[in-house]
Chain A
Amino acid sequence: MATPSLAVEPASPFRVSGVVGNLLRATSRNRKAMAGTVLLLLFLVLAVFPGQIAPDDPSAEIFMPGLGPSAHHLLGTTAYGQDIFSQLIWGTRLSIIIAFAAGGLATALAVLIGVSAAYLGGIADGILSLITDVILVIPIFPLVIVIAAYRKNAGLFTLIVVLGALGWSYGARQLRSQTLSMRTRDFLESARVRGERKLYVILFEIMPTMTSLIVASFLGAALYAVLTAAGLQFIGLGDPNSQSWGTMLYWAENNEALGAGMPLWAIAPGVCVALLGAAFALLNYAFDEISNPALRPSRRRRREELPE
């Protein structure tokens, strides 16, 4: 029984099981990934335990309106007498939910459509690619506005569905390309020859090898969801009574916060949207870098590469 053959750039042995181990190790090595992870974790904590951190009820209009930052109100109060800091903390939850849910929905659709199109080929591929291209080309934001405007005061559910249903096309393209490049891999032919069904091959043979790409796709979709949702809420298409950064911006804008001496009311949620977006973007870049080695085609005496 031999030791593994020479690898010029050897793979590290993992203690944790394959896929998860790959991801953890890759994350800890990459500076962008670390930064993005820290940021994201921060927001996740805020989203899960808002009550522990925020001092006040965000919607309670009990304070003096228009106060500047102070020990009591770290970011001051709104024109309605609400604590801005509490609003900010509580608003995290909704933004995170939208990011993950809409991002998740978009990714699920991207995977389903992209991988199936490439694997099924022929007419199925033709039709799915056509649909993908059409949605890719249509400017999303105006379309989202139109749809959201149809359902006035779009609730959370509508928002998620609309964002998810329109945000999958870019990822679908990428996943389709990646799947196409994998069609010649022998292990897929091997699976077919031993009698696996096509659906099995797509779900259990192809997809597990693309986890990096799928995660990267999800991060991109989440980023898109955060920014677009904030934008929609800002122009008033969200539920104005909900607690989110976008609605904060909406109300701040309505009351001309920047000009009327309450700049933090607008700046704070804006910065948060940007930071959460940055977290996803950093992780996205990092995962692109990680998943690239997997895209290299196999050569005869190639180095042993990580699949992720």
Chain B
Amino acid sequence: MNDELVRTEGLTRHFRVGKMLSRHDLHAVDDVDFTIGRGEIVALVGESGSGKSTIARLLALVYRPTSGEIYFEGRPLSAVRTRRQRLAYSGDVPMVFQDPYSSLNPAYRISHGIGRGIALHRRDVPRHRQLEEIERVLDAVGLTPADEIRRKFPYELSGGQRQRVGFAQALAFHPKLIIADEPVSMLDVSIRIGLLNLMSELRAREGVSFLYITHDVASARYIADRVLVMYAGHLVEQGPTEDVLRRPKHPYTQLLLSAVPDPQAELGIADAADIGEPPKVVDPRDGCRFQPRCPYAVAECATATPVLRQLGADRRVACHVAEGDPQDLAASG
């Protein structure tokens, strides 16, 4: 598809853990397929250990996949080898980090990081126009007056402002896709909305796509067009946001949604006593990884790893039990 920016096929990443003699494989990400389109905001939702941060780093070329492939604008990332090619790619796909208190170098003013980004990635901006461009991106993320802000040191800015600087740095590359790794989870609640709105605005104004990685489903619903749900390294459900949240088909998605505190909803704890935790996926056997906690598990779930199946237009679920018609599942829960 022309509109397709990123496509992954069988994306897998394992890590060697343990000491020299007893080597184990940590399956951080296993066999993940998804796409991101132009101008699209895709949310990657999962708890810690689900593999979402690893996917971010695979896309940012911090790690190479153990197997599988990532295609960017149709070209495989495995073909990106030289420094020049890597620079070109990271100019198209920058990353925004989670911790506003460690994502900016405290020894330099705000203009430094943005300036370096421009120097490395924007051949079209000559030296004497750098300041102008720095101020332009600071403006674009709502940090005004830009000429004052760029002179400040990180300690002079609040957490929310620092995160905006992170977005400004990414914007300075003229990117096609911004990977936002939990950009608001360390901010005060009242400030988060401002940054979520910023992402929507940037998408609308500059046409940038976002891969928004979060554990907070509510914020995913607020800005994302599509949502991908990860559990223990597997992609278990994906589809348009409203659809997935209204009619979740995977039991884990259902559990996640029922656990989200919603001040506007009444408490309907059917079974809030699930105290299981996501498994650490070291040397896993075949079978569904959610099976130990799943209320609908059948025999097959323990032996055969479910693959993503198409269950409706643009809906894919990795579950043996999930049906195309969701009403049955919801009623029996």
Chain A residues proximal to chain B, CB less than 8 Å = 1-2, 4-5, 11, 13, 18-19, 184-187, 189-196, 205, 208-209, 211, 298-302, 304-307
Contact = CB atoms under 8 A, between A and B. Distances in A.
B140 to A, nearest CB: 14
B103 interface: yes
Contact of B101 (A13, A19, A193, A302): A302
Interface in B92-121: 94-95, 97-99, 101-109, 113, 116-117, 120-121
Interface in B119-165: 120-121, 143-145, 149, 153, 155-161
B87 interface: yes
A1 B143 contact: yes
A298 B102 contact: yes
12 contacts: A2-B160, A186-B98, A187-B104, A189-B62, A190-B95, A191-B105, A193-B94, A193-B95, A195-B91, A208-B107, A299-B101, A300-B186
Given A193-B61, A298-B99, A304-B155, 8 more contacts: A1-B145, A11-B155, A187-B102, A195-B91, A195-B121, A298-B101, A307-B107, A307-B155
Interface in B48-100: 60-62, 83, 86-87, 90-91, 94-95, 97-99
Interface in B153-179: 153, 155-161, 166, 169, 173
Q: What secondary structure prevails in chain A residues at the interface with B?
A: loop
Contacts of B158: 2, 4-5
Given A4-B157, A193-B90, A304-B155, A18 B107 contact: yes
Contacts of A195: 83, 86-87, 90-91, 120-121
Interface residues of B, number: 44
Nearest to A294: B106
A141 to B, nearest CB: 37
B62 A193 contact: yes
Which 9 pairs between the two chains have the least Cβ-Cβ distance?
Answer: A5-B158, A208-B107, A307-B106, A186-B103, A186-B97, A298-B101, A185-B102, A187-B105, A195-B87
A122 to B, nearest CB: 14
A212 to B, nearest CB: 11
Interface string B196-235: 0000000000000000000000000000000000000000
A75 B120 CA distance: 64
A297 to B, nearest CB: 9
Nearest to A208: B107
A1 B164 CA distance: 12
B99 A186 contact: yes
B113 A190 contact: yes
A298 B102 CA distance: 7
Contacts of A11: 155-156
Contacts of B186: 300
B150 to A, nearest CB: 13
A304 to B, nearest CB: 5
Contacts of A298: 99, 101-102
A187 B98 CA distance: 11
A105 B256 CA distance: 59
Nearest to A22: B107
A80 B83 CA distance: 69
A189 B153 CA distance: 19
Contacts of A13: 156
A204 to B, nearest CB: 9
A79 B298 CA distance: 103
A100 to B, nearest CB: 24
B60 A193 contact: yes
B116 A194 contact: yes
A189 B86 CA distance: 15
Nearest to B148: A1
A2 B187 CA distance: 15
Contact of A194 (B98, B121, B155, B160): B121
A194 B90 contact: yes
Contacts of A184: 102
